[in-house]
Structure 1
Amino acid sequence: MGTRLFAAVVPPADAVEHLDDFLEPRREAGEFRWTLAQQFHVTLAFLPDVAEHLVEEYVDRLADGLARTPVPVLRLGGPVAFPDAAGTRALAVAVLPESEGADVVLERMAGRARNAAVTVGTEVDGQRFRPHLTIARLRRPADTTSWVRLLETYTGPDWPVLEVAVIASHLGEGPGNRPRYETLAEIALGQ
């Protein structure tokens, strides 16, 4: 069994704190499994099973792919419900472009994170990239319309994406049987 890896944009502390403060008083409601604030991230590519010897090569390929990438400015705001508000399995906050072309840059970064996986010969989750930050998962699908409305009122501070993290996810090793995340590499943008 290899390593579960993902390449992600991790928001800075002030953006994490802002969203966490917004959610904190509301966390008692709902049958949700809340994402821990220290695990907030925006996934660019998910690699379910990477052979140990390919991890470093993946990081190198990704660094090559992200070289000369302009720094996009983003903010978190607005709702995303997967698959929809009527039968939600995961609730997320959308990622909004703040700088000119930031959405295109983010899309390109996700493409490069996936291409790097293909280049080194490992499997990558093929779902269409839809930038979001998951805040909660539901044990069974439920109607989250009221949460979607609430999240429509949320807008976080903007921040420049200075790096992409490559994170290993160790299932069931974190608090409350959650995954434990281990940052293996941080790749700077804007070189």
Structure 2
Amino acid sequence: MGTRLFAALIPPEDAVEHLDAFLDPRRDAADFRWTLADQFHVTLAFLPDVAEDRVDDYIDRLADGLERTPIPDLRLAGPVVFPDAAATKVLAVGVQPVSEAADVVVERMAGRARNAAVQVGTVVDGQRFRAHLTVARLRRPADTTDWVRLLETYSGPDWPVYEVAVVASHLGEGPGGRPRYQTLAEIPIGG
């Protein structure tokens, strides 16, 4: 088996701290598997099995694809649930563009991250892209209507995206059996 990779936007420290402070007093109210703040990210593309000899090629192709990408300003705000509030498996915070143009830029970045995978001959998770930051996973599907209402009140600080991270995910090697993330590259954008 190869390397599990994802290309992601990593929010800056102030955005992470803001969201973590919002969630912290509420985490004990539900028996969810809460995402650790130092693992907060917005996945652009997930590559479940990349051959070791293709990782550098992927990074190079992604860098080429992002070379002239404008810098979008984003904020974390509002709820996102998968598949829905009545039977949630994943609870997340949405990613809102500060401008309409930023929305298009993030979609293009996700498309380029996926295209780079195809170009190097590796499989990319085919789920439709919806920008979000996972805050918790549920052990079994449950109604999260109250959490959705709570997250409707959340809006974090604006932040510019200057880079895309390529991260290896090592399952079960992190604290509490979580994945351990290893950043392999930080690709600058804004050319």
Q: TM-score over 0.5 for the alignment? A: yes
**Distance in structure 2 (CA, Å) of the matches to 1:147 and 1:36:** 18
Structure 1's consecutive aligned runs of 4 or more residues displaced over 6 angstroms after TM superposition are none
Corresponding position of 2:30: 30
Which residue number in structure 1 is paired with residue 3 of structure 2?
Answer: 3
Q: Report what 1:126 is aligned to.
A: 126
Deviations 1:138-178 (A, max 9, x none): 00000000000000000000000000000000000000000
Cα shift at 1:100: 4.0
- Secondary structure at 1:64 match in 2: helix
Q: What CA deviation, in whole Å up to 9, does each residue of 1:74-103 have, x standing for no partner?
A: 000000010000000000000000034101
Q: What pairs with 1:143-182 in structure 2 (closer than 5 Å)?
A: 143-182=143-182
Aligned to 2:189: 189
| Structure 2 residue ranges without an equivalent (≥5) | none
CA RMSD of aligned residues (A): 0.5
Give secondary structure in 2 for the equivalent of 1:17: helix
TM-score of the aligned structures, taking structure 1 as reference length: 0.99
Question: In the alignment, what sits opposite 1:137?
Answer: 137
Distance across 1 between alignment mates of 2:12 and 2:31: 28
Give 1:85's aligned amino acid: A
Calculate the TM-score normalised by the size of structure 2.
0.99
Give the whole-Å Cα distance in 2 for the aligned partners of 1:99 and 1:75.
10
SS at match of 2:70: coil
- Partner residue in 2 for 1:94: 94
1:16 counterpart = 2:16:
yes
Distance in 2 (CA, whole Å) between partners of 1:131 and 1:142 is: 22
For residue 49 of structure 1, what is the aligned residue in structure 2? 49
Moved more, 93-102 or 165-174: 93-102
* Pairs aligned (count): 191
Taking the aligned partners of 2:53 and 2:40, their CA distance within structure 1 comes to: 27
Unaligned runs of 5+ in 1: none
